[in-house]
A and B are shown apart, each in its own frame.
Chain A
Amino acid sequence: MDSLWSVIWSTDFAFSILRVTTPILFAALGALISNRAGIINIGLEGIMLVAALTGVVTSAYTHSAWVGLLCAVLSGVMIAGILAFFTLQFKTHIILGGIAINMFASGGTVFFLYLLSGDKGASSSLQSKVLPNVDIPLLKDVPVLGPILSGHNVLTYASIAAVFAVYYMMKRTPLGLRIRSVGENPHAAQSVGVSVVRTQYTALLLSGLLAGLGGAYMSMGYLSLFTRDMTAGRGWIAIAAESMGRSTTVGTTLTSFLFGAANALANALTVLKIPSELIATFPYAATVIGLLVYAIGESRKRKKAAVKPNEG
């Protein structure tokens, strides 16, 4: 047990929380935007996976991590666009559409990986690039904070910036207002001239963009290669984080960090000689518990709201 405490109370552990939260945070922000527009994007997991592979492949062929990042993000937007086209134009059930996207991504990435590298497990034969880590001048020399906050992958900082960007967009821009109004009452929004379909398109594409960033981070930052099904449920954990965060930017960010910490803790638990099979279940169990606590709180609130009119 002592060894566990010494691991948790180290700057390395705090550093690793930021590191593992990044993809969850990106995807959770994506889930937030589409959810606020009244359309739940459960294809995030698949979008991240496609983006992760696209980043690796394009960076290997162009010898540029940045081109890889751009292509990864574009592929995320494209998959989200396909989902949007089917759900908004063809009226495909949004959940079934999301299942289809995830199924496509899980098998399709292996298919393309095999065609391009001759391997079905990992992209080790491709000379892919990674995005740089950034040392923050001045901050990196501050004791405790320096080793925790400095030296992260550039996308980790981008994910923090994305929190502010999403917050600003939702609260202060016409687009944010349209997204919120469409999500809350599409008919009312329509009646004052907001195009519901176009707004939902935009929201889904933005969620694809954010999930694309998360996917790129997985294969070009968190790891330096693509492996089969490497997102490992992070898209789903993000969806849970978003609903637990009550669809607010601040709440979603906090719950993302909570689940990130659970992930980091699972990695740290290996020092206790707990079987790795059981440790692997820890982040998912934490997510179920988190979701449950949230759902119980919500239903209490609903009950109270339902009782009130009679009291008065």
Chain B
Amino acid sequence: MKAKYFEPFRTLAVILIALVIAFVIISLVSDRPLETILIFLWEPLATKGHIGNLIEMAIPLMFTGLSVSLLFRANLFNLGAEGIFYFSGVVAAAIAIHASLNGFLHPIAAIAAGSVVGALLSAIPGILKAKWNANELVTSLMFNNILFGVGLYILNYQLRDAKAFSSASYKFEPTALLSRIWPGTRVHAGLIIVLVMIVAAHVFLYKTKWGYELRMTGANRAFAGYSGIRTARVIILTHLIAGFIAGMGGSVEVLGMYTRFNWVSLPGYGLDGALVAMLAKNNPLSVIGAALFLSYIRNGADLMARLSDVPSEMISIVQAIIILLLSAEQFLKFWKNRMLLKEARKHG
């Protein structure tokens, strides 16, 4: 095997190890381990409806995964996608309820508003980082809590339908909803939007001067600065784009999957985005596969919780192991060294 195949091979090895650990946990916890493992592995793909669920969940994961990929690529550890995803959802919901537009313009207006709000909110930690070097990880996490509190306030005091049973907004205007694109499932037009965004991000990152500057700044900010790149501007721009994408994700999710806004806790897609980005090695096109994989094990865990005796939170243990091993430079490094040595001998 060649050394250049090492990275994909290593990713596969990590996933395999994580799955083995999942099996071990299931066997320890479940009364019927084999049956439970089969549910976990097979059930997400068993019916058309379940495949639909898998794709539905992959859509928000692709949005946040793409957003976090760009940030990580610029070496920015910002986990603000979580709060932005939520808050932009509130913004999109407000427009879906209150604006009266036709079925073509209404979702566009709602998504555009959510995305722009996301970009602006994301710019705040970006500016703090670029100008004063404030730790973007801490500020973005604090912002998640702040945005959640303000969003929940808007839901409870401005959008809430008193006639609804629980904390839920007024019904969206039917014109605002995204159309279903696969009959028999809830897969919505958001899938097309996110795929377009992913291709656009790929072009941006690898074919434009801005993308080049982003990658250079991420590789070594000081060096990029010496070679004439205005890194502060790159950092703010990256935050704007990442926030735009995360905000779009929240808006699309709300208009694609719901008829009322009813999130009373953070949905968690922002942190999952970090995992998607790592699985995708911060590569936009690979985000598709990474999000589908994460959605697959998530749905497997949910179905397992419903059909057997193992709670779905098991999956967060598996996810943590994937992150730890994927980001471990030394893990399986000896193998790569051996491959390199072999190649060197052959050519030498």
Contacts and interface: CB of A to CB of B under 8 A. Distances in A.
B215 to A, nearest CB: 18
Contacts of A111: 311, 313-314, 316-317
Contacts of B325: 90, 92
A212 B154 CA distance: 36
Contacts of B182: none
A99 interface: yes
B311 A103 contact: no
A103 B324 CA distance: 11
Contact of A278 (B77, B149, B330): B149
Q: Which of A93, A103, A277, A278 has the most CB of B within 10 A?
A: A103
A58 interface: no
Q: Which of B128, B278, B324, B331 has the most CB of A within 10 A?
A: B324
Interface in A261-310: 275, 277-278, 280-281, 284-285, 287-288, 291-292, 294-296, 298-299
Contacts of A106: 316
A172 interface: no
A109 to B, nearest CB: 8
A114 interface: yes
A299 B132 contact: yes
Given A86-B328, A97-B327, A114 B313 contact: yes
A292 B139 CA distance: 9
A42 B135 CA distance: 12
Interface in A203-256: 233, 236-237, 239-240, 243
B142 A284 contact: yes
Contact of B316 (A104, A237, A280): A104
A86 B327 CA distance: 9
A288 B146 contact: yes
A87 B317 CA distance: 18
B311 A90 contact: no
A92 B324 contact: yes
B135 A96 contact: no
Interface in B66-88: 77, 79
Q: Which of B77, B148, B328 has the most CB of A within 10 A?
A: B328
B153 interface: yes
Nearest to A86: B324
A95 interface: yes
A57 interface: no
Given A96-B323, A110-B311, A233-B141, A91 B133 contact: no
Contact of A288 (B139, B152, B316): B139
B135 A275 contact: no
A280 B317 contact: no
A277 B167 CA distance: 13
Contact of A287 (B142, B275, B320, B324): B142
Contact of B132 (A90, A91, A298): A298
B316 A275 contact: no
A294 B331 CA distance: 38
Interface in B299-348: 311, 313-317, 319-321, 323-325, 327-331
B interface majority secondary structure: helix
A253 to B, nearest CB: 19
Contact of B320 (A95, A104, A110, A233): A104
Contact of B150 (A277, A292, A294, A299): A277
Interface string B132-160: 11110111011101101110110011000
A86 B138 CA distance: 22
A215 to B, nearest CB: 17
Contacts of B135: 239-240, 243, 291, 295
Interface string A71-107: 0000000000000001001111101110111011011
Q: Which of B132, B156, B275 has the most CB of A within 10 A?
A: B132
B145 A233 contact: yes
A192 interface: no
B222 interface: no
Given A278-B149, A295-B132, A107 B316 contact: yes
B311 A275 contact: no
B311 A236 contact: no
B131 interface: yes
Contact of B329 (A90, A110, A120, A292): A90
A284 to B, nearest CB: 4
B313 A280 contact: no
Given A284-B142, A299-B132, A90 B150 contact: no
A151 interface: no
Contacts of B316: 103-104, 106-108, 111
Contacts of A108: 313, 316-317, 320
A294 B134 CA distance: 8
A115 interface: yes
A291 B324 contact: no
Interface of A: 42, 86, 89-93, 95-97, 99-101, 103-104, 106-108, 110-111, 114-115, 120, 233, 236-237, 239-240, 243, 275, 277-278, 280-281, 284-285, 287-288, 291-292, 294-296, 298-299
Given A100-B321, A275-B156, A287-B142, 16 more contacts: A91-B329, A93-B329, A96-B278, A103-B271, A107-B314, A120-B311, A233-B141, A233-B145, A277-B150, A277-B156, A278-B149, A280-B145, A284-B146, A287-B138, A291-B142, A295-B132
